[in-house]
A and B are shown apart, each in its own frame.
Chain A
């Protein structure tokens, strides 16, 4: 199996790559996980990962700055329906628009805006940084076998904005931070996590393994 982790000048690519390699190794999955900025490698991949750390507009500009990458993504993910995982800002880029600092178009795969979090408790700090649990809105193969809910495993979040889905059926999981905050979105062969599976120890490695096994 070929996994393409997209390099567009953003994100903790090495951590993501190492986490995918470890998950594959432990699950006995024969996977080559490459960090790449080559559109042809994305088109040839069986699984596509879009990581992302940074400001929304900067990340979008970075993605547009790789010649042919947005087109390759559209073709591989939308037309050829290859399993796709967006992480953090990579997940936010799946949205229609990002409203961080300015209005920026996303990829438009999951309709909705990426908006600032507005916790109902003013003592809560922004960004949300740290470990929180997941509340499932809709069962998803990537969460198979993972303990969720208040007594479940924790995921690592670092963010000030979240994706508010227009279609609530596309919100797979939320986390509680002064009200529900979108933690995971998806439809068809596309899925995105606001948290960082590559930094979420047991929960993260289990989710990545599920992604590698997912026949979307």
Chain B
């Protein structure tokens, strides 16, 4: 058999608590992160992603504590992102128990930071999170633009070109979020996902917009993603990980059933 497509629940956390934004605004408390992680571990999630949207340093300390408590209880891969600016930040996250670190704004401001981080910790450890939004164009081909700071700041940078650049610098994986779709339950932005997945040699995780199990299937089959990330459909109990996996298996996608 071969490598399985991963299903990744994503926990947005602030100050050590899970929250979930709709279009990155209007946060709703979705519970304690360590308890959520333990439940996802038992349910057969293939990885967990924590996105730390904390602004303060006190909140950041609560996040480190949350990661180390999770790593003590869950023997599955953890990716942590949010506020990563320096090599020291990455080391601290890895020592707390993260396996991969996701870099967003800092990679946009300084793509060479990706190279520095990959040289230090290995490409496999460095995920670049790309938040992209459809660019308004009259009748030209589809184009997507990079946003930073949790989707607030437009950069004018082309998402596909940027993805190629960071992979060249050493990113081992791309976490691709469609800003237009995030929180809408309308499905992944498939043309965007496919454009990036086909442009780079590393795995792409599709993110933003999952509302149904068919959306997960589309992300892989039409978006060419290597892994699918979702938040609210899992957090609020709409679907279980097992339901998602059997749905994907029925659609002919290899998934890890025996956990």
Contact = CB atoms under 8 A, between A and B. Distances in A.
Contact of B77 (A127, A158, A160): A158
A159 B124 contact: yes
Contacts of B202: 125-127
Contact of A54 (B46, B120, B227): B120
Interface string B113-129: 00000111111110000
A71 interface: no
A130 B227 contact: yes
Q: How large is the interface on A (under 10, 10 to 19, 20 to 34, 35 or more residues)?
A: 35 or more
A200 B41 CA distance: 11
Contacts of A130: 3-6, 46-47, 203, 226-227
Contact of B124 (A14, A129, A154): A129
Contacts of A202: 259
B4 A154 contact: yes
Nearest to A124: B3
Contact of A151 (B3, B100, B121, B258): B258
A133 B97 contact: no
Contacts of A176: 1-2
Interface stretch (B12-20, B68-76, B156-164): B68-76
Q: Which of A125, A200, A205 has the most CB of B within 10 A?
A: A125
Contact of A131 (B4, B118, B122): B4
B203 A125 contact: yes
Interface of A: 12-15, 18-19, 22, 53-55, 58, 89, 124-133, 147, 150-154, 156-160, 176-177, 196, 198-202, 204-205
Interface of B: 1-6, 41, 46-47, 68, 71-72, 75-77, 94-100, 118-125, 172-173, 201-203, 226-227, 256, 258-259
